[in-house]
């Protein structure tokens, strides 16, 4: 069992696929996405960035650190996790469980 993210095309709500990605920084990846619904086929550049620590790592690495999330961000993260657990979709991104 593993987790993955499924991206929905904002234009047509079809599934989007990551065609390529490059690491810009340990916390930043640039991704090139394309809608898999052929009549749409929208393609975009996107960025995936880790911004705040929500809970500490069990294997701390002093060379890799992020600012601790402020309380408002922690509250938002908890609410988003509850929404996902309740299977409510976020705007463009939803997390699902799938067999590996």
Q: Which stretch binds Zn ion (CB under 5 A): 10-18, 47-55, 60-68, 91-99?
A: 10-18
3-state secondary structure 4-61: EEEEECCCCCCEEEEEEEEEEECCEEEEEEEECCCCCCCEEEEEEECCCECCCCCCCC
Q: Applying CB under 5 A, does 19 fall inside the site for Zn ion?
A: no
Q: Which of residues 35-94 bind Zn ion (CB under 5 A)?
A: 35, 37, 40, 42
Nearer CB in complex with Zn ion: 80/94 = 94
Residues that bind Zn ion (CB under 5 A): 9, 11-12, 14, 35, 37, 40, 42
């Amino acid at each position: 069992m593993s987790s993955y993210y499924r991206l929905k095309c904002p234009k047509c709500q079809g599934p989007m696929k990551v065609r390529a990605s490059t690491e810009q920084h340990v916390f930043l990846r640039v991704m090139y996405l394309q809608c898999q619904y052929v009549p749409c086929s929208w393609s975009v550049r996107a960025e995936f960035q880790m911004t705040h620590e929500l809970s500490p790592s069990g294997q701390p690495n002093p060379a890799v650190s992020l600012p601790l999330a402020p309380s408002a961000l922690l509250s938002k993260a908890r609410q988003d996790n509850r929404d996902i657990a309740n299977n409510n979709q976020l705007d463009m991104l939803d997390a699902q469980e799938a067999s590996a």
